[in-house]
Structure 1
Amino acid sequence: MFSSLAYGQLWEREDVTFERIDAKAKELAAAPYAAPDKESLPDWMKNLSYDQYRDIRFVPERALWAAENLPFRAMLFHPGYNYREQVTINEFTDTHQQRVRLAEAFFNYGPLITNRGELPQDAGFAGFRLHAPLNRGDYFDELVAFQGASYWRALGKGQRYGISARGIAVDTGAEGVDEEFPLFREFWLRKPVPEDKAAMLFGLLDGPSYTGAYGFIIQPGEDTVMTVRVVLYPRKAVKRLGLAPMSSMYWFGENSRRRFDDFRPEVHDSDGLSIKMGTGERIWRPVTNDSGKLEFSFFPMAKCEGFGLLQRDRRFAAYEDGEAAYDKRPSLWIEPTSEWGEGKVMLMEIPATNEIHDNVVALWEPVRTPQPGERLEFSYKQHWTMSEDPAHAGGHVVATRTGLHDWQPEQRTVAVEFAGGPLEKWEGDPPQAQVTAVGEAGEKIKIQGVAVQPLPEGRWRVAFQIAPAAEGGKLADVGPQELRCSLKKGEDFLTETWAYRIIP
């Protein structure tokens, strides 16, 4: 049986609560920022290649709580390679806590590790992951992983890792300043009891501009739901603070005009941004990667009911990739559980020529950024889901298509497909389409040929063309256009609002 005492761990009497972590974050914010020493690891760890780092594997039998057959288990990430900021991991119960020490017995060092030296004394880890019987009762699947800066990823039943969440985003996309990546310096993992249905942990965040206390309750299931409580303390003012941020990957999809030499029809972890506003309006903004430059979209509102980057297309035929399994990548939906106030959802799209890096960011930017000496507390739920429509929009967008014919070079065709809600069993005359251009740039185009067509599988297509408003004008001269489209019956909206930027 694995004994924690055999690896230098010792239980100490201490009551670990969110309030204690909050106090630590406040104390940390009052002191100057001290960056972690990335050079403190021995050379053999720092110089590991990608393949060598992957050849260091945690021994499942050594997982925290495995010997006691508890409902959750924790496995740890070895420091080294790109993960040089060491994270302190603690385990706690209702009355005691102990630090988990880095030990060789936790890991299996594979044959690629040819120059292994001693482990440094008092070293931390690169992060951790929790396991639970997610897909079947006799196997502990990976449930959530915290590794690198303030990033984490989670899974529901039958899902594959894709989109990532972050603690906060600091100056992401802000002009004239570099983005900051605060990190979790320390975690406290609550030892589960046999009847637990959810895991609990705390995290302490630190960075040049912010410190923070985080509390997580993680409920595994068809959708894994994470309840997140946050308190932030600013050290200094920043240009942009992003709450509940997430990062995903979009290379190309059905709406892409830029095609790549690849055997797959689509390659992305997320295909759109979904927003539920306090007014009841629901917005779907398909992700795109056509302009070849950094793009921003902002959606201001007095109150946010939810937002997230979704993977709506769940057909294997859309991706034809059994290894990457993009059809099984989770959507991430944010549901505020406290009063967030006025602000805006920001979408940032970065050009990409491959699928290696995350290039799409979504976050909530409050209208007022807290100043040094202030305290900001908020909470939300994360839904890691396969649902097409976690916002419960009813009628929702399922496809965006666009094309330009050689014989009509100044007339772009756009097709938006809706399904769900009242459209599933529609009878009578077709729904009415509302298509508009937003902003002053919309005066440069005309929208024509609007048609609503029924499709198989309960879908409805709105097809229309955009052309220059000026006689003899060129599409290339009208510039980017912000378009909106929805289906209505009389004055009642049947669907969410499709919001899209067309680059003519």
Structure 2
Amino acid sequence: MTTDVGPSAAPTRRAMLAGALGAAAGSLPTASWAADPEKLPSLPGPGEAFEANTLTDLARARAKVPYVAPKTNDVPAALKALSREVYETIRPAEGRAIWANRDAGYVLEPLLRGAIFETPVSLFLIEDGLVQPVPYDRAAFVSLGIELPDLTAETAFSGFRLRARFGDADGLTNFALFQGGSFFRLVAQGQDFGINARALALRPADSRGEEFPLFRALFVEVPAPGQPVVVHALADSESATAAFRLTLTPGPEASTAAIDGTVFARAEIDHIGLGGMQGSYLFGPLDRNRVDDLRAAAFSVEGLAIRNGYGEPIWRPVHNPQALQVSAFVDRGPKGFGLMQRARAYADFEDDRRHWEQRPSLWLEPQDDWSEGAVTLLEIPSDSELNENVFAYWRPKAKLAKGGEMRFLYRQHWSKGWPDPLPPEVARVCGSRCGHGSGGNRRLFAVDFEGEALFQPGDIDVDLGASAGTITRQDRFRYPERKTLRILFELDPGGERAVELRLALRRGQARASETWLFRWTA
């Protein structure tokens, strides 16, 4: 069950219908204080052993000393002044990507600092249990009309890209990207990069301002042929340090990341975000009333799926609000949540450049007890399809005391399909639409449920409710050839500026569909 619908649920589901983020999602922080870098525990040196506890011990030690901000004003002008488009033309020279001369099924491409990527990230390889820094050689890169400067290995890189061979496919294609803040992305075979994952988030959309942890060092184990790639990541911020072990496995239909993370608190933390993920939503079938665009839709995220600790499957379509909205789905022991791209046809978007139908869904499954907390959804006003204005994460209820540690385990599925599992008797929402109603400010909604079980003998009951206003019309339309049942209803909000809507199908007392939730705003 959920407890987040209707005005009486205000303590568990908060709507901020005015204001803006203190820091836009994806931007980088400005350090307010720093310590002496010489007192900071150092990274492993060339030839040193890298063991299972090396990074966690390092993160724990760093959390006991004040934060040292990375130096970002030393990016050479030739790189800093680049546009994003020109920066992205910088590539490894032929045969110079790491592992290009091995039959590993992967190549690793270091990414230089430049354009908006100013934070230095130390890159290391781990082979036979020993650490080797990734060197910088400007002859190992090519670019369009750019003379690359000489750089040191300590200050050259901002992250890396992994290319992989998917199954028996010819050649190597995009698989993973680690760059900016504590962000990383994966794709399945043939997909374009879409949703960003965040290893750690602190105070998202908080009135005190968001704090953005940064990857400071990335250690990549040299993979054996046919085996996953293991990445060890050290993150750092004013309030915390963190160590992550990510096991990355490419797949034709879904790529996975198994993540083992531990956070160490420099100060008390009362708003932490685990399993963060963000994508873009400009417009779609639910909110075309303010859009003048020849495309059918423009988004990399269609909605938030949740399988809560009570076993209830929830589908919450996202939208582009006129003011920041925050929704908290209070839970205990969630089974999973994710930002989904369910629209998979060209006709869903008709975008010949972006091809949103090729972007991955991202589903997260905790692998240990996440106890009490809330799946939290931020929807940020946006006028650009390039803004990643939809952000979801798990917010634990418990605070992390200064000097405390928090370990967590989860698995991510970056998929072409709908990786959020449902029992066969439970229908899935396959479409949501909204338009002008019969008059005044009334709104007409159409929600499509898809599933074989909807057309088996027996009555289907509709459970529809609104937190305010009046439902003035309700109809259903059956489409057996598509295994789809459409529920059409009209909302008269009266003088209300926001209404929470809830819709589900039942067979008697048995659940027959996901629970569709939506917040309509004037």
Please report the TM-score for the alignment, with normalisation by the length of structure 2. Answer: 0.87
The 5-angstrom pairing of residues 223-372 of structure 1 reads 223-289=254-320, 291-372=321-402
Checking the alignment, whether the CA contact within 8 Å between 1:18 and 1:215 is kept in structure 2 is: no
Residue 465 of structure 1 pairs with residue 499 of structure 2 = no
Q: 1:117 to 1:412 in 2, by over 3 A?
A: closer
What is the identity, as a one-letter code, of the residue corresponding to 1:70? A
* CA 1:12–1:33: 2 relative to 1, 3 Å: closer
In structure 2, C-alpha distance between the alignment counterparts of 1:94 and 1:160, rounded to whole Å: 33
The answer (yes or no) to whether the contact 1:271–1:311 under 8 Å persists in 2 is yes
Of 130-139 and 364-373, deviating more is 130-139
Q: Which amino acid aligns with 1:181?
A: F
Q: Matched residue of 1:355: which SS? A: coil
Paired residues of 1:18 and 1:213 also in contact (CA < 8 A): no
Question: Match of 2:499?
Answer: 481
> Structure 2 CA distance, aligned partners of 1:181 and 1:41?
20
Gap change, CA 1:31 and 1:485, over 3 Å in 2: same
> Matched residues in 1 for 2:296 and 2:283: separation?
8
Shift of 1:410: 5.0
Mapped to 2, the partners of 1:153 and 1:30 lie a distance apart of 30
Please tell me the residue identity of whatever aligns with 1:62: R
Q: Once the two structures are superposed, what CA deviation does each residue of 1:306-338 show, in whole Å capped at 9, x if it has no partner?
A: 000001111110111132110111000011011
Amino acid at match of 1:305: K
Contact 1:431 1:452 in 2 (8 A): no
Return the alpha-carbon distance in structure 1 between the equivalents of residues 503 and 95 of structure 2: 55
Unaligned runs of 5+ in 1: 1-9, 469-474
SS in 2 for 1:61: coil
Cα distance change of structure 1 residues 417 and 121 upon mapping to structure 2, 3 Å threshold: closer
Q: Distance in 2 between matches of 1:147 and 1:323?
A: 23
* One-letter identity of the residue aligned with 1:452: R
Match of 2:250 among 195, 216, 220: 220
Find the aligned partners of 1:502 and 1:49 in 2 and give their Cα distance: 38
TM-aligned CA deviation for residue 448 of structure 1: 3.7
Give CA-to-partner distance per residue, 1:468-502, whole Å, 9 cap, x none: 5xxxxxx2x12311111011111111111001111
Q: What SS is found at the alignment partner of 1:228?
A: strand
- Aligned match of 1:156: 188
Q: Does 1:56 align with 2:90?
A: yes
- CA–CA distance in 1 between the matches of 2:89 and 2:435? 47
Q: Deviations over 1:222-274 (max 9, x none)?
A: 20010011000011234521100011000000111433222101000011000
State the 1:186 CA deviation.
0.5
Output aligned runs, 1:13-412, within 5 Å: 13-111=47-145, 113=146, 116-120=148-152, 122-134=154-166, 136-175=168-207, 177-194=208-225, 196-221=226-251, 222-289=253-320, 291-388=321-418, 390-392=420-422, 394-405=426-437, 407-412=438-443
How much has 1:380 moved relative to structure 2? 0.4
What residue identity is the alignment partner of 1:300?
Answer: V
CA distance in 2, matches of 1:373, 1:459: 53
Is the contact between residue 138 and residue 150 of structure 2 (CA under 8 Å) also seen in structure 1?
A: no
3-state SS of 1:304 partner: coil
Q: 1:86 to 1:459 in 2, by over 3 A?
A: same
Larger RCO, structure (CA 8 Å, separation 6 or more): 2
Q: Conserved in 2, the CA contact under 8 Å of 1:150 and 1:166? A: yes
CA shift, 1:13, in A, is 4.0
CA offset at residue 18 of structure 1?
A: 3.5
Tell me which moved more, 217-226 or 68-77.
68-77
Q: 1:161 is aligned with what amino acid? A: F
**Alignment check: 8 A CA contact 1:218 1:227 kept:** yes
Deviation at 1:134, TM superposition (A): 2.0
CA distance in 1, matches of 2:126, 2:385: 39
* TM-score normalised according to structure 1 size: 0.90
Structure 1 distance, partners of 2:89, 2:394, is 38
Question: Could you say what secondary structure the match of 1:23 adopts?
Answer: helix
Structure 2 counterpart of 1:453, from 477, 490, 498: 477
Distance 1:436 1:122, change over 3 A: closer
- What SS does the corresponding residue of 1:21 show, helix, strand or coil? helix
CA 1:389 to 1:490, structure 2 compared with 1: closer, same or farther past 3 Å? farther
Q: 1:259 to 1:410 in 2, by over 3 A?
A: closer
Evaluate the alpha carbon distance shift between residue 328 and residue 414 of structure 1 in structure 2; reply closer, same or farther with a 3 A threshold. Answer: same
Cα-to-partner distance string for 1:400-444 (whole Å, 9 max, x where unaligned) = 122224x52254322211012523xx133551111022xxxx2x4
**Residue by residue, what CA displacement relative to the aligned partner does 1:46-68 show, whole Å, maximum 9, x if unpaired?**
23333442332222511211212
**What residue identity is the alignment partner of 2:182?**
S
